Chain A
Amino acid sequence: MHKLSIAELAAGLREKRFSSRELTQAYLKRIDSFDGAINSYVTVTAERALKQADAADARIAAGDAGLLTGIPLGQKDIFCTTGVRTACGSQMLDKFIAPYDATIVEKLDAAGMVMLGKLNMDEFAMGSSNETSFYGPVSNPWDKTRVPGGSSGGSVAAVAAGLCPVATATDTGGSIRQPAALTNLTGIKPTYGRVSRYGMIAFASSLDQAGVVARSAEDAAQVLQAMSGFDAKDSTSVERPVDDLVSGLGQSIKGLTIGLPKEYFADGMAPGVRARVEEAIATLTRLGVNFREISLPNSPLSVPTYYVVAPAEASSNLARFDGVRYGHRAEGAKSLEELYKRSRGEGFGAEVQRRIMIGTYVLSHGYYDAYYLQAQKVRRLIYDDFKRAFADGIDLILGPTATDVAFKFGQNSDDPVAMYLNDIYTIAANLAGIPAMSLPCGFVDGLPTGFQLMGNFFSEARMLNVAHQYQQATDFHTQWPTEYAS
């Protein structure tokens, strides 16, 4: 049952081949059996899930069900859930039970989806390997000695191991796409402002965007459709109807023009990854897509730009964690300053502290212009590169997602800069605010890799259509890690 697509699960529920309760129980059982070794869930909400499943079964019986009613999912532990701890991978929030739901939690609950639990992640979504979580690293189901990528490491590992059919995730600099590539999944980060950020714990507000990791473009489209939409509670939410992401998936992609940025195909990509990405281009060419080389000349500056903008916003967003109203509070502090420093010193891990310090530094007096303002200007240049490409007749842009396949635990943990370069291909989309996705394109020495599609603002439907057509022509995305296949 765990290998069925969302459409197949929905059909099974509708045709009463199994109930949502049975489906939920089956997944809970798999979590119980397998997650000890993977560590993808930080909280399993069995009771809540069964209650939701029963409600879903009642809706199905009453003929009041939508496509997603009764389908289980995992929620990244960055989305606030009433009555269920939301820890965001941090000791700081180890005891934090939000008195409100994130808008996307509300939306997916309303669609009748069943939340199995909260998924592990890098602390405050800062990381590319899921090694910074207070709740311990997550293993890659394809090779448990390797990382699943990050920050949505729990989300991808859970889906890849069949511990949920689909999961929510967030992407600030690649946190959906890079782990999706490393675990053979399809992950999409929509246009900035398409999915509400209300109730999603902020890392870098101008870059953060929620999305989905799934086993196919079709599954991803169905869940993203339900998550998207205007939310009056988020000032950066876009007041624009959501396109139909699902019904256009069958369209031909013949005649589309996809740009290949030469900067993305320069040195830096592992040879095996390059070979798989080139094969994907060949497959799409056979499907009638035209490719054209383009240039995004400022893309080499994405990583330095990001590592000014994101830490600056993070240092500010994380200032609220002070041990006063919620969250970790140091014991026995005698003064206010001691309370702040010790609560934050104890509550935040090293990577979060590094980013807070970098962010504090680049915003501080005398450095603002050289770092923050300059980064904002370069951000504009990066954005203009994309604008120019799309204005020049390019429908989508294709490139690698990650430089290499999943790396071993500890490989980059003492070298932040080497770790940051993992995001070299994914960051630009966040800086520009455009939608981007990663999808599987084969294996290198038994480990999965993926390629990335980027589109103009609000071109999710087109991107998903291309991804779906590609997946109709290939079977990489249907491969399972042996241990979890049966």
Chain B
Amino acid sequence: MSLSPEQVRQVAHLARLQLNPEQVEPYARQLTDILGMVDRLSAADTAGVSPMAHPLDMVQRLRPDVISEADRRDDYQAIAPETQDGLYLVPKVIE
């Protein structure tokens, strides 16, 4: 499986990464190498094997439905790049 520069650009767009034009070529080569290594998986016989999402054979624990968080907006927004009137600011969202 090889990845073309165009595919690299598509994946970068999906992942919202701005790539410098000169990065695209080396990334395409490196990602192709990595996928080449990963392609060894296709040879494994996994017929009838159930996928393993997690090492733990446990089930989800449930927490009681209680409010345990106080309002700490000022603390949380102290590290925000841009806020106004308690809102996080972003460039205008066009729906």
Determine the chain A residues whose CB is within 8 A of the CB of B56 once the complex forms: 192-193, 236, 238, 433
Determine the distance from Cα of A230 to Cα of B68 in the docked complex, in whole angstroms.
19
Determine the chain A residues whose CB is within 8 A of the CB of B75 once the complex forms: 99
Chain B's closest residue to A345 (CB) is B18
B14-40: which residues lie under 8 A (CB-CB) from chain A? Answer: 14-20, 23, 27, 30-31, 33-40
Chain B interface size range: 35 or more
Q: Does B86 contact A (CB under 8 A)?
A: no
Q: Does B46 contact A (CB under 8 A)?
A: yes
The 8 Å CB contact of B37, one of A336, A373, A375, A420, is A420
Most chain B beta-carbon contacts within 10 A, residue among A97, A327, A378, A383: A378
A207-248: which residues lie under 8 A (CB-CB) from chain B? Answer: 232, 235-236, 238-239
Determine the chain B residues whose CB is within 8 A of the CB of A154 once the complex forms: none
Contact status A416-B38, CB under 8 Å: no
- Chain A positions 353 through 364: 1 when the CB is less than 8 Å from some CB of chain B, otherwise 0: 110111011101
Contact status B55-A383, CB under 8 Å: yes
Known: A308-B38, A344-B17. A377 touches B53 (CB 8 A): no
Known: A304-B40, A345-B18. A325 touches B80 (CB 8 A): yes
- Chain B positions 54 through 92: 1 when the CB is less than 8 Å from some CB of chain A, otherwise 0: 111010110100000000100110111110000010111
Known: A301-B44, A381-B46. A339 touches B79 (CB 8 A): no
Chain A interface size range: 35 or more
Contact status A238-B58, CB under 8 Å: yes
A36 vs chain B, min Cβ distance (A)? 29
Contact status A339-B90, CB under 8 Å: yes
Contact status B17-A345, CB under 8 Å: yes
Known: A99-B76, A376-B53. A344 touches B40 (CB 8 A): no
The 8 Å CB contact of B34, one of A340, A381, A417, is A417
Q: Does A431 contact B (CB under 8 A)?
A: yes
Determine the chain B residues whose CB is within 8 A of the CB of A336 once the complex forms: 90-93
A352 vs chain B, min Cβ distance (A)? 10
Contact status B52-A379, CB under 8 Å: yes
A316-348: which residues lie under 8 A (CB-CB) from chain B? Answer: 319, 322-327, 329, 333-342, 344-346, 348
- Chain A positions 140 through 163: 1 when the CB is less than 8 Å from some CB of chain B, otherwise 0: 000000000000000000000000
Q: Does A291 contact B (CB under 8 A)?
A: no
Known: A301-B44, A324-B90, A380-B52. A96 touches B15 (CB 8 A): no
Known: A304-B40, A341-B17. A239 touches B61 (CB 8 A): yes
Determine the distance from Cα of A230 to Cα of B79 in the docked complex, in whole angstroms.
30
Chain A's closest residue to B28 (CB) is A357
Contact status B51-A376, CB under 8 Å: yes
Determine the chain A residues whose CB is within 8 A of the CB of B90 once the complex forms: 324, 336, 339
Determine the chain A residues whose CB is within 8 A of the CB of B88 once the complex forms: 324-325
Known: A99-B79, A333-B91, A416-B34. A374 touches B14 (CB 8 A): no
Most chain B beta-carbon contacts within 10 A, residue among A298, A334, A416: A416
The 8 Å CB contact of B49, one of A303, A338, A381, is A381
Contact status A380-B49, CB under 8 Å: yes
Determine the chain B residues whose CB is within 8 A of the CB of A300 once the complex forms: 40
A388 vs chain B, min Cβ distance (A)? 14
Determine the distance from Cα of A96 to Cα of B72 in the docked complex, in whole angstroms.
17
Q: Does A132 contact B (CB under 8 A)?
A: no
Contact status B81-A342, CB under 8 Å: no
Most chain A beta-carbon contacts within 10 A, residue among B13, B37, B49, B55: B55
Contact status A364-B34, CB under 8 Å: no
Determine the chain B residues whose CB is within 8 A of the CB of A206 once the complex forms: 53-55
Determine the chain B residues whose CB is within 8 A of the CB of A434 once the complex forms: 55
Determine the chain B residues whose CB is within 8 A of the CB of A305 once the complex forms: 41
Q: Does A95 contact B (CB under 8 A)?
A: yes
Chain B's closest residue to A308 (CB) is B38
A31-47: which residues lie under 8 A (CB-CB) from chain B? Answer: none
Known: A326-B79, A376-B53, A431-B55. A304 touches B46 (CB 8 A): no
Chain A's closest residue to B77 (CB) is A325
Contact status A361-B91, CB under 8 Å: no
Determine the chain B residues whose CB is within 8 A of the CB of A307 once the complex forms: 34, 37-38
B11 vs chain A, min Cβ distance (A)? 5
Contact status A360-B34, CB under 8 Å: no
Contact status A344-B41, CB under 8 Å: no
Determine the distance from Cα of A433 to Cα of B91 in the docked complex, in whole angstroms.
43
Give the top 5 A-B pairs by smallest Cβ distance, nearest first. A433-B55, A345-B18, A376-B51, A377-B46, A329-B81
> Can you give 13 contacting A-B residue pairs, CB < 8 Å?
A99-B72, A232-B63, A238-B58, A325-B80, A338-B91, A341-B17, A353-B17, A356-B17, A358-B38, A361-B11, A377-B52, A380-B49, A417-B34
Q: Which of A's residues lie within 8 Å of B, judged by CB? A: 95-97, 99, 192-193, 206, 232, 235-236, 238-239, 298, 300-301, 303-305, 307-308, 315, 319, 322-327, 329, 333-342, 344-346, 348, 350, 353-354, 356-358, 360-362, 364, 370-371, 373-381, 383, 415-417, 420, 431-434
Q: A99-B72, A304-B40 are in contact. List 17 more A-B contacts (CB 8 A).
A: A206-B55, A232-B61, A304-B41, A323-B81, A325-B88, A335-B91, A336-B91, A354-B27, A356-B17, A357-B11, A357-B31, A358-B38, A360-B14, A360-B15, A374-B42, A417-B34, A417-B36
